[in-house]
């Protein structure tokens, strides 16, 4: 019975991670346009919460007090980059009654806003050999989250998942490797090597594209990785997969214009 429930929880978590684990932390409140236009996922969250598109941020933060709406409220806070919710998120994270998955959601939001108070707790859970995280794909997500906050100690968890036979596990690993970008830490070179291999040799086109996007994310931190990105794009420019081919051609054209300027 417990195993069945745990499996259902894992499936739900993985689906949510794949759908919503996008880069929501690249900017903060100050960079959000005044005329904010919600995207598809954000509109869906607003509908689920029964809110209008022009809802005030404070109203969204207040929904954190309602257990049934807390999950969607946290996601919406991340999309809208409402950093003023930090104290409320910390309260939720530190509450002993908060479920693990809600704690993890709160930790991701806190990470978005530069807060690191969640790290000791999450790291302790991730390194517990008898805990929930170590026995599920959640450890990949957590390793990436820690890396996003500057702790690269769980790199091997992600690296080892690249060779997993399950596509969704590999996809998660490819996505999380983008968080191991650092200007000088050797772990970045290892991440780039793995991503380059996936981007040029993986049999699944969407996996190659995902790896290219992760390489691009690392290149923002370590510009010299841009050459690896271009190599991966050129390796796929004549791909039989039309979508991958188009993506690579468009991106190569963009990089070509930038290189000419140099």
Domains of the chain by residue range? 1-117, 154-262
What pLDDT is recorded for position 18?
Answer: 43
Residue 82 pLDDT > 90:
yes
| pLDDT, tens only, 185-228 | 999 999 999 999 999 999 999 999 999 999 999 999 999 999 99
Span of 4-13, 108-117, 201-210, 250-259 with lowest mean pLDDT: 4-13
What pLDDT is recorded for position 15?
Answer: 42
233: closest CA among 246, 245, 248?
248
Q: Locate tokens 């992600």: which residue?
A: 158
Three-state DSSP at 79 gives helix
pTM of this structure:
0.84
Rounded CA separation 48/137 (Å): 27
Q: May I ask the CATH class of domain 154-262? A: mainly alpha
C-alpha dihedral, 250 to 78 to 35 to 220, nearest 10°: -40
Averaged pLDDT, 97-115: 96
C-alpha dihedral, 7 to 13 to 18 to 20, nearest 10°: 160
Confidence band for 38, pLDDT divided at 50, 70 and 90: confident
Residue 179 pLDDT > 90:
yes
Confidence band for 36, pLDDT divided at 50, 70 and 90: low
C-alpha dihedral, 126 to 130 to 134 to 136, nearest 10°: -130
The structure tokens listed for 41 are 């996922």
**Beta carbons of 48 and 72 less than 8 angstroms apart:** yes
Q: How many residues does the chain have?
A: 262
Q: What's the angle, vertex CA 107, arms to CA 214 and CA 61, rounded to 5?
A: 115
Rounded CA separation 22/6 (Å): 25
What pLDDT is recorded for position 35?
Answer: 52
The most distant pair of C-alpha atoms in the chain lies apart, rounded to whole Å, by 62
154: closest CA among 186, 127, 185?
127
Averaged pLDDT, 115-137: 91
Residue 2 pLDDT > 50:
no
Please name the residues in contact with 131: beta carbons below 8 A apart, sequence gap of 6 or more: 125
């Amino acid at each position: 019975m417990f195993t069945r429930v745990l499996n259902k929880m894992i499936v739900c978590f993985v689906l949510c991670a794949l759908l919503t684990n996008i880069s929501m932390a690249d900017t903060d409140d100050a960079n959000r346009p005044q005329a904010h236009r919600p995207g598809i996922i954000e509109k869906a969250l607003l509908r689920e919460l029964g809110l209008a598109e022009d809802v005030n941020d404070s109203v969204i933060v207040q929904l954190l007090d309602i257990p049934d709406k807390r999950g969607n409220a946290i996601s919406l806070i991340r999309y809208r980059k409402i950093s003023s919710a930090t104290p409320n998120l910390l309260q939720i994270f530190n509450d002993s009654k908060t479920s693990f998955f809600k704690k993890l959601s709160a930790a991701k939001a806190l990470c978005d806003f530069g807060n690191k108070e969640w790290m000791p707790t999450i790291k302790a859970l991730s390194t517990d050999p008898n805990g929930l995280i170590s026995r599920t794909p959640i450890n990949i997500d957590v390793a990436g989250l820690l890396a996003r906050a500057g702790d690269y100690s769980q790199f091997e968890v992600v690296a080892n998942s690249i060779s997993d036979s399950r596509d969704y596990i590999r996809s998660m690993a490819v996505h999380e490797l983008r968080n191991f970008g650092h200007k000088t830490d050797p772990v970045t070179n290892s991440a780039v090597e793995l991503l380059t291999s996936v981007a040029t040799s993986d049999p699944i086109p969407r996996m190659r594209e995902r790896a290219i996007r992760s390489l691009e994310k690392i290149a923002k931190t370590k510009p010299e990785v841009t050459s690896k990105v271009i190599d991966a794009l050129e390796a796929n420019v004549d791909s039989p997969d039309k979508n991958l081919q188009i993506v690579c051609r468009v991106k190569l054209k963009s990089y070509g214009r930038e290189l000419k300027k140099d």
